[in-house]
Structure 1
Amino acid sequence: MGDVLNEAAWLIIDWGTTNFRAFAMTEDGREIERIEKHIGLLSIANGQFSEALKQVLSEWITDYQRLPIVMAGMVGSQQGWHDVPYVKTPASFEGITEKAFSFELEWGAKATIYPGIKHKNEQSQFDVMRGEEVQLIGAKALLGKVNFHAVLPGTHSKYANVTDGVIQSFSTYMTGEMFSVLSKHTILGKDLGPSKAQFDSVAFLKGVEESNVESLTNQLFLVRTHRLFKQLNNDDVLDYLSGLLIGHEVKSIIGHINCRKEPLNLIGSYQLSKKYEMALNALGFISQVLDGEECFIAGMKQLQMEQQHEEMDVLS
């Protein structure tokens, strides 16, 4: 435990269903150190969130009790620590801070959980996000733009439209989860053996090219028939499947926007975002990758500053 943590003035926590990440921040918003633990919400028994957090922090920072904590993500869901109601679209970051839930931790420090967002489309169907809205707020600050489109690749990939600095609409694609289920629990991934380390771009782009927005379930069976008739090697099957699914998602999105002149912003891990970038480039569209963690930290800093301004307005 380094002396550098003595500079910590507050903590950012991203607590999801499977992972926990914490960032120690200085007063002026500089990251000092971070930790990651495999103690997602689903692993916390009987709602013992306070005890789990205390154990992690006490092993990391000697005087953690003095540090205020801001949190976002699934920690604010029905399965989380506190159920913080969604903010409806159009959602500004001022509106998000207004609906934040604050409480006192058992050791006396203040904790705040920021809400997620819900969107109701023209068919009166709802979509939700928790955590990605923070990344979008951070992307707005990092890009220096109030109008942009973004895709946030992941287990549940999100496409979002930000206009005039406000999150106007978004939609969710279960691309990552579909890949996991299809590759592990269906005939498409049966008897493939261990995944190879090297990514095959040819097989991936073949999947992107052959993906079809209207007939995904029909296209998916090509994973089996291409393998059966030696049009794909066993080692390339999963890259082809990834291309089919990402291609389907990307083609669904670009049908609604024009990203030939303005880049579509990809916010997430570098490795996964580069696959989306490759798919977009193959289809004649441009994109740029923004680091997901960098966007998350920038977004939390923006929310924290806005909340402090609101609290000062109340006191004045």
Structure 2
Amino acid sequence: MTGLTRTSYALVLALLAGLVVAAATAGIAIGSVGVPAGQVWGILLHRVHPALAEPTWTPVRETIVVDVRLPRVLLAGLVGAGLAVSGTALQALVRNPLADPMLLGISSGATVGAVLVMVFGLTALGTFSVPLAAFAGALAALAAVYFLARSGGRMTTVRLVLAGVAMAEVLSAVASFLVVTSDDPHKTQAALRWMLGGLAGTTWTIVWIPAAAVLLGTAVLLGVTRSLNLLLAGEEAAAALGLDVHRFRAALFTLVALLIGTIVAVSGQIGFVGLIMPHVVRLLVGADHRRALPAAALLGAAFLIATDLAARTLIAPEEVPVGVLTALLGGPFFLWLMRRRAM
């Protein structure tokens, strides 16, 4: 579908946007206290302007919709979109379709940084302590994997995946060691739950930082789509066309690390979204990043909203960490992709 017309592409985006709206409506409506979809939209419209909907619901339902479920659904959409666009950018930067924030150790690096803050109470920077520590860990892990995977100025799929997996395992072990050696059982339990990935307990105060990071990061990536497209032709071809490949990669790696660090700080480690979504999007709209990035953001948002809904309803009233479900879905997909490319 690389020859997709503008009309067809607009239709695909509209369908993906419809998926986001449908998933978000279900995510807000379904729960221990069910709220009809029409009433969900009535409550939201009434909050926008009282004249848009006549209140026929109880205050308790309005609180459930606005203060409990809506921020969680929004955060799920932001995390899904951020992981999807980060994965799309990473696969272009390293010219490898198996690249993923989790497989390359970026999520594990962010996890170590965040766990350090949570376990040892390093909160000198207040609410920014965990995001900044996660960003530093993500950037350090990404830089280490990138340099370990290069040999003689070249980087192969095998070296990249092996370096990423090894780094992820080492950093996961470090994070686990930090948790099990903690003297505070409450911090230990909270960190272990957080490491599995989840969105429980989301409030409006949590949403704004990842919202700013994802929106700004996506906007920057959309502004450099030409350079991302040049990288698809290879480093030498991109350099011949005027792109400073090394400087561009360094800048984009920093941006991706900032995105992943911010996301991990609020959601924990959620894997494989950044691997699956770019491949599905390329099947739908082609490899041109001008089209792929918006589609990836919408598809990632819809996917994680739906997955989070499943995570909190499958064994209700208990909740499955959403990172467990994405791993169950993404693991087989990765194995299929690896065999398909005869790595």
Q: Please, what TM-score do these two structures have when normalized by structure 2?
A: 0.23
Q: Which has the higher contact order (CA 8 A, sep 6+)?
A: 2
Larger strand proportion, structure 1 or 2?
Answer: 1
Q: Please, what TM-score do these two structures have when normalized by structure 1?
A: 0.24
